[in-house]
Amino acid sequence: MTTALPPGSTIGILGGGQLGRMLALAGARLGLRSHIFAPEEDSPAFDVTRWHTRAGYRDEAALETFARSVSAVTLEFENIPVGTVEFLSRLVPVRPGAKALRCAQDRLNEKALARELGAMTADFAVIDSLADLERALAGPLEAPAVLKTRRFGYDGKGQAKVMRREDAAAAWAAIGGKPGAILEAFVPFEREVSVVAARGIDGGFSAFDVTENEHRNHILHRSVAPARISEATGRMGVDTARRMAEALDYVGVFAIEYFVTGSGAGERLLVNEMAPRVHNSGHWTIEGSDTSQFEQHMRAVAGWPLGSTRRRAPAVEMINLIGDEMGEWTRIAADAGAQLQHYGKAEARAGRKMGHVTRLLG
């Protein structure tokens, strides 16, 4: 039996972006302090925490000092080297651990696990050369298809759509032409949804309502909970999430992104990917749920009981503010129904997530 870390304990967070910032803010409400470890000088999370370490993820001396200053470590960014988590695990509990990270960092591992557990995914082929790609497109996986790097892709980066067999060489070049890719059948989906859920140290499990997600230019634009799917489909999505978390000995909040195909009795879910962290599609829970995904994660990491995931309105909408969209902040601040979250980033680069707005809908 693991005992819960009491208020006053410090949680180490690897990564200093907006997710780390919102985790630290949620932890503070519970009396849990945060120590952010991140390499970037202008990390948004540094603004809201008393302690931070600015160092690289492979700096073992800095990692050791960090580990000795905290009671548990978590992460807000899935591309932390697995070796870093293994190193820290010898000094302090890391939640989630290396097993979950290793799976979530590789699209092939994610899909293989989903299938092993009986869930569906898009058909796929492992691609390590242009010849592999040409062979796959000639046989089992006809175009249209999507070529993706297995590792380190996000917001549509490291991806190329292959509309015709003749596009193979261009697509291969577009993702960098290196071994370690995957070709997925293009899924003609009705919608995209995600399950954001948590697993506690004691194996307890709790999911938020399934959320529907709309992307623009490969970046999440809008999330609405609940998703427009049948109850049975929703249950399937939550059940797959629970089984994936159990298989990975997961502790903390995570998200599974799904494609929804068909409708009515033919409605189906295909696992797209897993994020081993709090997720953009769960930001609505800050105002829209009894417990936010950020508080839920801090509770899980600290060994506390999971909180209620009851939704607080018939529907809740979250819209991301990308790039110069944050320029609208005075108008949003004047809208009584809008809850603004500003990530405190100084520079509004194109495609950069600057903040979000949540609205409880009637």
187 belongs to the binding site for ligand AMP (CB under 6 A)? yes
Q: Which of residues 210-249 bind ligand AMP (CB under 6 A)?
A: 215, 218
Q: Which of residues 248-267 bind ligand AMP (CB under 6 A)?
A: 257
Strand order across the 72-75 sheet? 51-54, 33-38, 10-14, 72-75
In the chain, % helix, strand, coil (3-state, to 5) comes to 30, 30, 40
186 belongs to the binding site for ligand AMP (CB under 6 A)? yes
Chain residue at closest Cβ approach to ligand AMP: 187
Closest to ligand AMP by CB, 72 or 133: 133
Rounded-to-integer distance, Cα 123 and Cα 131, Å:
19
Give the Cα-Cα-Cα angle 229, 120, 147 (nearest 5 degrees): 105
Considering only 14, 67, 100, 146, the residue that binds ligand AMP (CB under 6 A) is 146
Site string for ligand AMP, 42-81 (x = CB under 6 A): ----------------------------------------
273 belongs to the binding site for ligand AMP (CB under 6 A)? yes
Closest to ligand AMP by CB, 146 or 229: 146
Please count the residues of this chain forming the interface with ligand AMP, following the rule CB under 6 A.
13
Find tokens 């995957």 and name the residue.
Answer: 182
Considering only 153, 237, 303, 355, the residue that binds ligand AMP (CB under 6 A) is 153
Rounded-to-integer distance, Cα 319 and Cα 280, Å:
10
Residue 348 class from Cβ within 10 Å (0-12 exposed, 13-18 middle, 19+ buried)? middle
Rounded-to-integer distance, Cα 68 and Cα 92, Å:
8
Site string for ligand AMP, 92-131 (x = CB under 6 A): ------------------------------x---------
- Smallest distance from the beta carbon of 132 to ligand AMP, in angstroms? 17
DSSP 15: -
Closest to ligand AMP by CB, 72 or 182: 182
Rounded-to-integer distance, Cα 26 and Cα 48, Å:
11
